[in-house]
Amino acid sequence: MPDTAIHPERSRGTAVREISYADAIREALAEEMRRDPTVFVIGEDVAEAGTPFKVVKGLVEEFGKTRVVDTPISEAGFTGLAVGAAMAGMRPVVDIMFGDFMTLIMDQVVNQAAKIHYMSGGKWKVPMVIRATMGATRRSAAQHSQSLHAWPSHIPGLKVAIPSTPYDAKGLLKAAIRDDNPVVVFEDKISYAKVKGPVPDEDYVIPLGVADIKREGSDISIVATSSMVQVALGAATMLEEIGIDAEVVDPRTTWPLDEKTLIESVKKTSRCIVVDEGYFRYGVTGEIASVIAEGAFYDLDGPVRRLGARHVPIPFAPPLEDATVPNERDVVALARQMCNK
Amino acid sequence: MPDTAIHPERSRGTAVREISYADAIREALAEEMRRDPTVFVIGEDVAEAGTPFKVVKGLVEEFGKTRVVDTPISEAGFTGLAVGAAMAGMRPVVDIMFGDFMTLIMDQVVNQAAKIHYMSGGKWKVPMVIRATMGATRRSAAQHSQSLHAWPSHIPGLKVAIPSTPYDAKGLLKAAIRDDNPVVVFEDKISYAKVKGPVPDEDYVIPLGVADIKREGSDISIVATSSMVQVALGAATMLEEIGIDAEVVDPRTTWPLDEKTLIESVKKTSRCIVVDEGYFRYGVTGEIASVIAEGAFYDLDGPVRRLGARHVPIPFAPPLEDATVPNERDVVALARQMCNK
Amino acid sequence: MSIAAKQEAAGLDVEKALHMYRGMVAIRAFEERANDLYTRALMPGLAHLYIGEEAIAVGVCEALRPDDYITSTHRGHGHCLAKGAVPNLMFAELLGKEAGYCKGKGGSMHIADPATGNLGANAIVGGGSTLATGAAYASKMLGQDRVAVCFFGEGALGQGVLYESMNLAQLWTLPVLYVCENNMYCEYTHYSETTAGDIPSRATAFGLASETVDGQDVRAVHAAASKMVERARRGDGPGFLLMNTYRFRGHHVGDIARDYYRSKQEEQRWMADRDPIAIFGGWLVSEGLADKGALDRLEKEVAAEMDAAVEFAKNAPYPDAQRVDEDVYA
Amino acid sequence: MSIAAKQEAAGLDVEKALHMYRGMVAIRAFEERANDLYTRALMPGLAHLYIGEEAIAVGVCEALRPDDYITSTHRGHGHCLAKGAVPNLMFAELLGKEAGYCKGKGGSMHIADPATGNLGANAIVGGGSTLATGAAYASKMLGQDRVAVCFFGEGALGQGVLYESMNLAQLWTLPVLYVCENNMYCEYTHYSETTAGDIPSRATAFGLASETVDGQDVRAVHAAASKMVERARRGDGPGFLLMNTYRFRGHHVGDIARDYYRSKQEEQRWMADRDPIAIFGGWLVSEGLADKGALDRLEKEVAAEMDAAVEFAKNAPYPDAQRVDEDVYA
Ligand SMILES: Cc1ncc(C[n+]2csc(CCOP(=O)(O)OP(=O)(O)O)c2C)c(N)n1
Ligand SMILES: Cc1ncc(C[n+]2csc(CCOP(=O)(O)OP(=O)(O)O)c2C)c(N)n1
Ligand SMILES: [Mg+2]
Ligand SMILES: [Mg+2]
């Protein structure tokens, strides 16, 4: 087996294939399951069905039903089971079909998985991954559209990844599986099929806690997470036309948080927008904006500004739902205002 | 019955009695239960035991076991039951003994209670209160010491109160019970017996969403919540001695958030510390600091600074636990640094 | 005896029987149109059809009063209709229109309506179990005699909160009825892979009265539900009904290629032999309580009503975008 | 026959019996000292004593191998000791000292130790149920034959996740044993106010093998546990044991005035007639397997060991404050 490459930086040039975000995740799982027999996937309809999003489709054929395990609709039960299994030598990858069901497993994740290492004075380890989805605009309404990554990001003992590209999704998930701590990975549902990108053939991981500059620029920093990275890149293209050179920075993990890269970008550009798809209030943007405002205060031209999902439960009707999630126009309008253009 | 007074401001002069934070809460419950027969209290060991903190002690004698309802250890079950009961005409007050058990009820609170009014197009209402505790330094270790108020604060459809004084605890709880929305009230365990203060005899409520200036000052604003208000006031006294005049502002509710009062305080003082007992990262301080940094940016002398619980699960050993929660010395040291004194 | 004479002899029961027949036909017709709207990309989100299970919603709700409560599921159209929802406001909701039951904010999985005691369809599996229990609690505390029915798929047997609910209901003798619709599949997984032991015992273990019922036979459903509902209303406590049934279609409309989890033959067997509408229609005719012609006419009437409801919904406007901020707080 | 001869005749079983006796005495002695440390304000937090329930931890753990797993509860000292924890490191943990099992980070409610298969005491009621099930899952996947035992109070019957766990365990034939310690109280509430129906049925409903045992009789406990553990180890699936027992003291040390929830007479009856140590000691003597003097000597030995352990803990240093940031991440 060749050595794993460690790619803190976004792949530049080495990749030859364009694959989808979902394919990248499936590859990550398959490769890690081949590499390590203690890795297994557990969740609802993960085997033959490959989840409703088909993202793990095909794994059961290669690894069988003992390593791709269909469960009852018992999110708390099987997540907690995974915690125990992780303590006893396995590396479970738990599939939470809709991130909204994080509500059902917070005790297992927060009171158990996150704290066991610490409470035991470092004696027990909980090497497990929870893959959950996030993202709205699929007309799935209030209980199937939330992006709840702010919650685990708040909890010491957890790491949280929110990949935005196939490259990141694969590299972060592989790193998460090899990590000896519980890691929650939020995958954007819309990106599964929609976002394609270069992914190298060879084995690589992306260390957790390293931000990536998705686009360099000098006038304004747009710190964007998950689905919002595509929005930010789209906005950057539009801004370019009117002479605003935006830098797009993707933290890739909310915890650990690569404060240095974020702050340095803003020190350079002196303006910053933070955009995230989670609920706006008490969410991810508050922390990131505060970190930047503290770290780059004296370089800032004006306050760090934030965009997030509207402070409403996600509605079903398309014109309403579309009004809840930040889009390119919102980013462009705010950036223009901040740059006085 | 006399009309209820609406006190947006902290009681000044009208109060004659000094009572404890726990007594204030008990009074609020008793008064609202007398006023409205649909109000009832439900939770573990709430009846004869009056909870382990004895905070509802005596209610069962007055209202009987049908209105002070002992439950099995089924937090999800009885909280969800309360949601259904609220829809069907009751006003439940749910007792969550340790705020750490919020992990067990997030689905009922977040996917049901918070969204039902919206999802039904405004047709159903969920007038219920969840009383949960918060606060560390009781040597209760990692699963009984958390302050998880950041989570519900993140969720549209919920209101969240975090009273710091007996006066506020009573007035906010009474307002919460009369509110037609689900309201989560976090009560500081240490304050139950330790914090005493003036509470008027007459019926009053404090509107949700109105901050209170606990101490006026001109040099620096300390925005403090719950237990940290006492810490901030203590620090302010120490700062006074070295010539720093601190203003202590208590938002009292994280949602709705009284942005105006916070921002105006900081516009006046030009410096700001936000201090909260919850985990530091992705917590309450991030949002409040961001709101202030955005709203008072051009008046700020330096970045808004934050203090919160250390990024660790709460340890058991006293010297370790004491290192996790901000204290007066931390606030003083930071304020001195910010004021160059 | 003429049909009229027979009907007269059977008295009120015939009226009820025809009402139930009409109810099942209406659900079927509703769902066929939902299917159509979905496949023509007029309906956003997902459509989980109740086709094949109509006898349960209808047989149970026929035993309820208008002021009784229900909670429903992601597969909720049948329950909502059977409890009294009108099709035009339902279709409008399915299409996300302002005129819908929830002003377009809920959609297919969240139809709710205080006027018909509908506490809401719920997209969290098992989510209705505590809500129904709570409504029953309120009914009891308020000295009302309203009963609450919790409909759920056998998948919800996996959610621990259901057991917490049943324990509370039995401890406090609440007027609530748990109706488990075992259509044999949770999404794409057979229930035998998710359900150890024995289903009714999961209720009797907590002391609940329990009965297992042929969910394709609306008369059996209605009889069992009536007994349990009356028992609950009298104050004798909660009940559990296991309804054996089958989902004739995919988990949702888009679930087309299903052979990997169940065979065409199995589906065809159920549709041919165990169609609840055919079974009940056949019985009505064989008992001489209705003739084929009358049933056909009824079906046509229903079809026309449903078509009109679809038209209403299609023509109804979407909510204005600024409505998004309304109804967050009461 | 002389005692020595009788012991010889009884062979290994006597060794085991004396080991169990010693185990129970050790737990009792440990808890008395914990009580003392607490009342003298030397132990921070809360102390939930296992006094009166010793036969369960000891009888069950005697049926386990060192590499088998357990999960424990807030009332966990007995389980930890029975599974092999040493008292000095336990006392050190109770006092929050660096030398403790968890470096002082866990405290009384979180004693954990990989070396003895202890997955941890757990302060979330029911929290251990999924962890034990998961350890059993790992054991099976890794082709080991390790068994996991989940100890819990009857209060945990209120937590839905327990039923989710039992369903998974039975579906997947996992080597896990659920041991319900029904000491009749959850904190200050009698279990009849919280527990509808019938406890063993809550396990058999999911297909688990189940047995009800006199939890004050260590021989009965051990026999039942041995059967269930061997069954699980063989691959025949999970089991459930309902242990009827009694908490001799308050919910925690500070719970003094208890008359409002249970009577002094009830307590005295249990302590007088149903003390597991007295019962087993009496049996050992009456069977001629040990004499009173030997048992007394053993008690003294244990007492000395416990006193030394307390001294060790008292003299051990607290962790340095900067250790607070260690062990958050592996
Ligand atoms: C808590 C939760 N977990 C998972 C899902 C995803 N999901 C939606 S429907 C479904 C299957 C439900 O099966 P069942 O309860 O038998 O109802 P049926 O669809 O058969 O009517 C699943 C797993 C969900 N909505 N809620
Ligand atoms: C989920 C949860 N809810 C509530 C509590 C508070 N609590 C601690 S012990 C206890 C009673 C437990 O009773 P039982 O399970 O019978 O154990 P026992 O104390 O009798 O050994 C309660 C309610 C908790 N620790 N965890
Ligand atoms: Mg089903
Ligand atoms: Mg007990």
Tokens of residue B43, six digits: 């939770």
Over residues A178-206, the mean pLDDT reads 97
Give, in order, the Cα–Cα distances in Å from B208 to each of B152, B180, B195, B216, C27.
Answer: 15, 12, 21, 21, 45
Give, in order, the Cα–Cα distances in Å from A50 to each of A24, A90, A177, C189.
Answer: 14, 21, 19, 11
Contact of C60 with C117, CB cutoff 8 Å: no
- Asked: is A16-200 a CATH 3.40.50.970 domain? The reply is yes
Contact of C243 with C181, CB cutoff 8 Å: yes
Query: Is the pLDDT confidence value at C2 over 60?
Result: yes
Q: Phi/psi at B309 (nearest 5 deg)?
A: -70, 145
Q: Do C170 and D206 touch (CB under 8 A)?
A: no
- How many contacts does A have with C, using Cβ atoms within 8 A? 119
Q: Phi/psi at D26 (nearest 5 deg)?
A: -65, -45
User: Cα separation of A183 and A252, whole Å?
Assistant: 13
What is the predicted pLDDT for the residue at A313? 98
Q: Do B290 and A289 touch (CB under 8 A)?
A: yes
Nearest CA-CA distance, residue B278 and chain A, Å = 9
Q: Is the CB of D155 under 6 A from ligand 2?
A: yes
Query: Is the pLDDT confidence value at C175 over 50?
Result: yes
Q: Do C159 and A101 touch (CB under 8 A)?
A: no
Over residues D81-104, the mean pLDDT reads 98
Picking from B143, A81, A120, the residue whose alpha carbon sits closest to that of residue D131 is: A81
User: Kind of pairing, strands A220-224 and A39-43?
Assistant: unpaired
Q: Which range has the worst mean pLDDT, A3-17, A172-186, B31-45?
A: A3-17
Cα-Cα-Cα-Cα torsion D77, D78, D82, D87, nearest 10 degrees, comes to 40
Looking at chain D, which residue has its C-alpha nearest residue C159?
Answer: D164
Looking at chain C, which residue has its C-alpha nearest residue B109?
Answer: C127
What DSSP string describes D198-240?
-HHHHHHTTT-EEEEEETT-HHHHHHHHHHHHHHHHHT---EE
Query: Is the pLDDT confidence value at B268 over 90?
Result: yes
Give, in order, the Cα–Cα distances in Å from D199 to each of A77, B1, C209, D60, D149.
Answer: 20, 49, 16, 19, 18
Enumerate the residues of chain A whose CB falls inside 8 A of the CB of residue D122: 112
C45 → closest Cβ in A74, A100, A139: A139
> What is the overall mean pLDDT for chain B?
96
Q: Is the CB of A275 under 6 A from ligand 1?
A: no
Counting atoms of ligand 2 from 1, which one is nearest the CA of D251? 19
Nearest CA-CA distance, residue B105 and chain A, Å = 8
Tokens of residue A221, six digits: 């920093």
B154 in active site: no
Counting atoms of ligand 2 from 1, which one is nearest the CA of D185? 20
Q: Do B310 and D188 touch (CB under 8 A)?
A: no
C-alpha B95 – ligand 2 centre gap (Å)? 15
Picking from A104, D233, C245, C5, the residue whose alpha carbon sits closest to that of residue B75 is: A104
User: Kind of pairing, strands D176-182 and B91-96?
Assistant: unpaired
The pLDDT tens digits of the residues spanning C287-323 come to 999 999 999 999 999 999 999 999 999 999 999 999 9
Q: Do C167 and D204 touch (CB under 8 A)?
A: no
Strand partners, A133: A187
Q: Is the CB of D183 under 6 A from ligand 2?
A: yes
C-alpha D51 – ligand 2 centre gap (Å)? 16
Query: Is the pLDDT confidence value at A302 over 80?
Result: yes
Q: Is the CB of D287 under 6 A from ligand 2?
A: no
Picking from B143, B120, B155, B148, the residue whose alpha carbon sits closest to that of residue B132 is: B148
User: Cα separation of D40 and D36, whole Å?
Assistant: 6
The pLDDT tens digits of the residues spanning B64-122 come to 999 999 999 999 999 999 999 999 999 999 999 999 999 999 999 999 999 999 999 99
User: Cα separation of C98 and D173, whole Å?
Assistant: 51
C-alpha D185 – ligand 4 centre gap (Å)? 4
Query: Is the pLDDT confidence value at D95 over 80?
Result: yes
Residue D12: pLDDT band by 50, 70, 90 thresholds?
low
> What is the overall mean pLDDT for chain C?
97
C226 touches chain B (CB under 8 A): no
Enumerate the residues of chain B whose CB falls inside 8 A of the CB of residue C159: none
Query: Other C-beta atoms within 10 Å of D39: how many?
Result: 12
What is the predicted pLDDT for the residue at D154? 98
Tell me which residue has its CA closest to atom 13 in ligand 2: D186
The pLDDT tens digits of the residues spanning A97-136 come to 999 999 999 999 999 999 999 999 999 999 999 999 999 9
Counting atoms of ligand 1 from 1, which one is nearest the CA of C186? 13
Q: Return the domain boundaries, chain B.
A: 16-200, 212-338
Amino acid at D132: A
Tokens of residue C84, six digits: 């009294």
Q: Which range has the worst mean pLDDT, A4-13, A37-46, C39-48?
A: A4-13
Q: Do D325 and B312 touch (CB under 8 A)?
A: yes
Picking from D100, D97, D80, D99, the residue whose alpha carbon sits closest to that of residue D30 is: D80
Q: What SS3 class is residue B26? A: helix
CATH code of the domain occupying A212-338: 3.40.50.920
The pLDDT tens digits of the residues spanning D233-284 come to 999 999 999 999 999 999 999 999 999 999 999 999 999 999 999 999 999 9
- Asked: is D13-316 a CATH 3.40.50.970 domain? The reply is yes
Enumerate the residues of chain C whose CB falls inside 8 A of the CB of residue A48: 188, 260-261
Q: Collect all residues from A whose CB is shorter than 8 A from any CB in C.
A: 44-45, 48-49, 52, 70-74, 76-77, 100-101, 138-144, 310-313, 315-320, 322-324
Q: Do D125 and B73 touch (CB under 8 A)?
A: yes
Q: Do C131 and B121 touch (CB under 8 A)?
A: no
User: Kind of pairing, strands B17-20 and B196-199?
Assistant: antiparallel
Determine the residue of C49, C56, C125 to mutate for testing ligand 1's pocket, defined as the one with the most ligand atoms within 8 A of the Cβ atom: C125
Query: Is the pLDDT confidence value at D9 over 80?
Result: no
Determine the residue of D53, D186, D242, D245 to mutate for testing ligand 2's pocket, defined as the one with the most ligand atoms within 8 A of the Cβ atom: D186
Enumerate the residues of chain D whose CB falls inside 8 A of the CB of residue B324: 324
Query: Is the pLDDT confidence value at C45 over 70?
Result: yes
Residues 6+ apart with CB under 8 A from D206: C196, C197, C202, D163, D166, D167, D170
Over residues A85-99, the mean pLDDT reads 98
Residues 6+ apart with CB under 8 A from B237: none
User: Cα separation of C14 and D62, whole Å?
Assistant: 68
Q: Phi-psi bin for B286: left (phi > 0), alpha (psi -120 to 50), beta? A: alpha
Q: What SS3 class is residue B11? A: coil
End-to-end CA distance of chain B: 54
What is the predicted pLDDT for the residue at C8? 76
What is the predicted pLDDT for the residue at B92? 99
Looking at chain D, which residue has its C-alpha nearest residue A180?
Answer: D330
End-to-end CA distance of chain A: 54
Q: Which residue has the tokens 């058999």?
A: D204
Enumerate the residues of chain D whose CB falls inside 8 A of the CB of residue C163: 160, 163, 202
Contact of B108 with B79, CB cutoff 8 Å: yes
- What pTM does this model have? 0.98
Nearest CA-CA distance, residue A211 and chain B, Å = 17
- The percentage of chain D sitting over the pLDDT mark of 70, rounded to a whole number, equals 99
User: Kind of pairing, strands B159-161 and B253-255?
Assistant: antiparallel
* E strands in chain D: 69-71, 148-153, 176-182, 185-186, 189-190, 209-214, 239-244
What DSSP string describes B178-247?
HSSS-EEEEEETTHHHH-EEEE-SS-EE--TT--EEEE--SSEEEEE-THHHHHHHHHHHHHHHTT--EE
The pLDDT tens digits of the residues spanning A208-221 come to 999 999 999 999 99
Residues 6+ apart with CB under 8 A from C278: none
What is the predicted pLDDT for the residue at A6? 75
Enumerate the residues of chain C whose CB falls inside 8 A of the CB of residue B111: 124, 127
Q: Return the domain boundaries, chain C.
A: 13-316
The pLDDT tens digits of the residues spanning C209-229 come to 999 999 999 999 999 999 999
